[in-house]
A and B are shown apart, each in its own frame.
Chain A
Amino acid sequence: MAGKRTLPTPFSDPLRFEGATRTSTASRGLNVARRVGLRLLTHVLPLMLVIITSTFFLIHSAPGSFVEIMSSEMQISDQAMIDRLTVTYGLDQPLWIQWLRYLQAIAQFDLGFSYRQNMPVLEAILHHLPATLILMVTGLLVALISGVAAGVLAASRPNSTLDRVLSLAGVFLFAAPGFWLGIMLIVLFGVVLGWLPIGDMRTIGGDFGFVGGVLDVAKHLILPAVAMGLHQSAIYLRVTRAAMIEAAAADYVKTARAKGLSEQAVALRHVFRNALLPIVTVLGLQFATVFSGSVVVEAVFNWPGIGSLLYDAVVARDYPMVLGVIILSALVVILVNLVIDALYAWLDPRIALD
């Protein structure tokens, strides 16, 4: 009765291969796609309008226009020129007119012109966005993989020494600020051991061809991604540990064990799969935090992402750039959460996306 012992995976439903149900799973997928589309219209558009409007008025309520900053930085004292600039950038108009014009421009995917970067805002952002996304996604993966693995390990023996050590490490990493972790990593691996570069995204003046270039970026990516990921991983550790322990006590786990399934199969197919739901929820919530957290980490590691762009724009009162970065970040976070919602509905058949 050894039977077949295929290695179980959380999603190895025998059913997924099976005729009658393939259709039902597929139709469920189609349904989700249609609902996501609907949600884009009913949720994302109004939300974006609110964000754009509130950000616009908030930023304009701050004292000092960018013409003033620019003229003082560039030592322009000619009042006629200042007036001309004010008219050129539409700053002489009432605020609500400026707002309407801004909305109109955005509807045409025009985020305005950055005098600071001397290029369209959208172009400048798209130039910096890939660097930030690479860092964020890698950091999130580090956080997710290390946190979930540590959480599963801790939950396998609750209140054991291993559990206590892991939980303590988690608290330490979460209490330590991301930038401090970054600096410590730089000191250890960059300065003392000299294994990894201490900043930037590429070796300056280096030309390694395509593959070499990718490896070069990867080498530069390790420290900032780990600094960001370790800080975040503590949250996944805690959520995973709690969710695993809760799921392990559920009746359906007893049922699964009563069938005579192996420990592995029970842990993966029944316990872990149910524990995934809270983990995914936290992933969605954390995404926004990671986005803003990346600004700090980017500064520490001199990473050429959105963070440096935003910081520079705020200091220079480069309103179109500030607004542009905020709007695009909001859009990214909203879209990611939309994906998370869909993922959630896909994972849990009890949840309908509406």
Chain B
Amino acid sequence: MTLAEPALIEARGLSTAVRTAAGETPIVLSLDLSIGRGETVAIVGESGCGKSLAALSMIRLLPKGQARVTGGEVRLDGRDILRLREREMNALRGRDIALISQDPMSALNPLMTIGAQLYEAISAHAALPREALRERALELMRLVRIPDPETRLGEYPHRLSGGMCQRIVIAMAIAGHPRLLIADEPTTALDVTIQAQVLQLLQRLKEETGMALLIVTHDFGVVAEMADRVAVMYAGRIIEEGPVREIFRAPRHPYTQGLLALTRRAPAGERLPEIPGVVPSYADRPPGCAFAGRCDRALDICRTTAPARRIVGRRHEVECWFDGEASA
């Protein structure tokens, strides 16, 4: 993919805040992210860094009354979907942008059969006669490798395993031929053996349908396996972004370097390595770089002035004052 080709979806200055007892706390701070057609982008970061809220903002499914977008724009085909009315947004959800959420067991309505929920997803965007609806549902279930789909149609979610539920959720998500599938921690709630299967499934579906994928994860293993490009998030901002190979080969931000170092060495019997310190809350954030307090290479300027985004390689950008290639 070349830089000249327009992105499928592009967030500019996207900010979201969470409502608390004391008012609103900003969580996502002016985030820029673009995803090309058929591209797989991963947002990676610790829990609480705002990666899920950023992704949910792009399909406008933030928890009602608890979080809201406070600024910026998200352009799909050039129009800002944050300004669409709810009706127009509904026409777009499932058809242009679809979502898979974290816990497959609670992502399905316990009172409706698998079939009913699949039919709902299919008929939300296409008026089909009953027989065609059933055919399409069976086709989708075969696509996500559900064994014995005819029987499953009439069953309720509690009779299915977590992995099976996630396959159903994926089948529902691709029912409307979306151009972008947002997967919010798609494997976190699953057994390790099932995780690999679900990732393989997503990869295959992506190749077959040509849709773009936005994967939200805290797992660099998932990133390495799936993503073309990765955005590392820390305390509400993307602090480094670039092609996966590039990031793995030469991470520039000390935080990225720290995260990667953790995933690489796992010596048996030793205490698990960690990055010292904690993520600062919004109120405690220093005026400069949010990571300065935990960074072993922090300079004076890091604490006073926020670093600007710099281009350090082909599509590789970083927000850090430090300017030496992993030399320290």
A residues sitting closer than 8 Å to B (CB atoms) are: 1-4, 13-15, 17-18, 20-21, 24, 158, 248-252, 254-263, 265, 269-270, 273-274, 347-350
B150 to chain A: which residues have CB within 8 Å? 20
User: A24-B154, A258-B93, A260-B92 are known contacts. Are A14 and B107 too (CB-CB below 8 A)?
Assistant: no
Q: Is the pair B99, A260 in contact by a Cβ cutoff of 8 Å?
A: no
Query: Can you report 7 residue pairs joining A to B where beta carbons are below 8 Å apart?
Result: A15-B119, A21-B113, A252-B106, A254-B107, A259-B175, A273-B111, A347-B111
B173 to chain A: which residues have CB within 8 Å? 258
User: A4-B123, A158-B65, A251-B107 are known contacts. Are A258 and B112 too (CB-CB below 8 A)?
Assistant: no
Number of chain B interface residues as a range: 35 or more
User: A21-B153, A258-B99 are known contacts. Are A274 and B110 too (CB-CB below 8 A)?
Assistant: yes
Q: Is the pair A350, B156 in contact by a Cβ cutoff of 8 Å?
A: yes
Question: Separation in Å of the A245 CB from the closest CB of chain B?
Answer: 9
State the CA gap A273–B130 with chains docked (Å).
23
User: A3-B125, A21-B154, A349-B158 are known contacts. Are A258 and B98 too (CB-CB below 8 A)?
Assistant: yes
Q: Check B176 for interface membership: any CB of A closer than 8 A.
A: yes
Select one of B64, B94, B133 contacting A260, CB under 8 A. Answer: B94
Q: Is the pair B63, A249 in contact by a Cβ cutoff of 8 Å?
A: yes
> Residue on A with the closest CB to B105?
A251
> Residue on B with the closest CB to A261?
B124
Q: Is the pair A255, B101 in contact by a Cβ cutoff of 8 Å?
A: yes
Chain B contacts with A in 219-234, Cβ cutoff 8 A: none
Most buried by B among A252, A258, A269: A258
Q: Check B296 for interface membership: any CB of A closer than 8 A.
A: no
> Residue on A with the closest CB to B102?
A251
Q: Is the pair B124, A3 in contact by a Cβ cutoff of 8 Å?
A: yes
State the CA gap A274–B156 with chains docked (Å).
14
B108 to chain A: which residues have CB within 8 Å? 252, 255
Q: Is the pair A350, B169 in contact by a Cβ cutoff of 8 Å?
A: no
Q: Check B95 for interface membership: any CB of A closer than 8 A.
A: yes
Q: Check B91 for interface membership: any CB of A closer than 8 A.
A: yes
Question: Separation in Å of the B237 CB from the closest CB of chain A?
Answer: 25
Q: Check B90 for interface membership: any CB of A closer than 8 A.
A: yes
Q: Is the pair B116, A13 in contact by a Cβ cutoff of 8 Å?
A: yes
Q: Is the pair A257, B61 in contact by a Cβ cutoff of 8 Å?
A: yes
Question: Separation in Å of the B60 CB from the closest CB of chain A?
Answer: 9
Q: Is the pair A13, B176 in contact by a Cβ cutoff of 8 Å?
A: no
Chain B contacts with A in 187-235, Cβ cutoff 8 A: none
Question: Separation in Å of the A19 CB from the closest CB of chain B?
Answer: 8
B153 to chain A: which residues have CB within 8 Å? 15, 18, 20-21
State the 9 A-B residue pairs at the shortest beta-carbon distance, nearest first.
A260-B94, A258-B99, A260-B93, A21-B154, A14-B119, A15-B116, A251-B106, A4-B127, A13-B116
State the CA gap A235–B124 with chains docked (Å).
36
Q: Is the pair B169, A255 in contact by a Cβ cutoff of 8 Å?
A: yes
Q: Check B294 for interface membership: any CB of A closer than 8 A.
A: no
Question: Separation in Å of the A341 CB from the closest CB of chain B?
Answer: 17
Q: Is the pair A261, B106 in contact by a Cβ cutoff of 8 Å?
A: no
B86 to chain A: which residues have CB within 8 Å? 263
B127 to chain A: which residues have CB within 8 Å? 3-4
B113 to chain A: which residues have CB within 8 Å? 13, 15, 21
Select one of B98, B101, B107, B115 contacting A21, CB under 8 A. Answer: B115
Question: Separation in Å of the B67 CB from the closest CB of chain A?
Answer: 12
State the CA gap A150–B2 with chains docked (Å).
56
B140 to chain A: which residues have CB within 8 Å? none
State the CA gap A251–B101 with chains docked (Å).
8
> Residue on B with the closest CB to A245?
B65
Select one of B101, B134, B156, B172 contacting A259, CB under 8 A. Answer: B172
